[in-house]
Amino acid sequence: GRCSPTTRHWRNAGKAVEAYRRALARLPEELRVTFELHEAEGLTYRQVAETLDCPIGTVMSRLHRAREQLMTDLKEQIEEFMP
């Protein structure tokens, strides 16, 4: 049978969460750790730099690369299940 819009919405939301987890897991460790410290843990750039003992510019560069890679990966994965 047909799914209601609500059911389809939740199925796609679940797929999107799984796509995000897969994309995050595919990031190189240094990018993933930097991204998680800033985005998930809420640390500032300076706090991430201190935690990882690296320059703040390195943190900014890693975050930029992580976001680009995540967006590319997610776009490819989401196109598979979103019309």
Give Cα separations from 8 to 12, 33, 59, 61 (angstroms): 6, 33, 38, 37
The predicted model gives 12-28 an average pLDDT of: 88
What does the pLDDT read at residue 31?
A: 98
The tens digit of pLDDT for each residue in 32-83 reads: 999 999 999 999 999 999 999 999 999 999 999 999 999 999 888 777 766 5
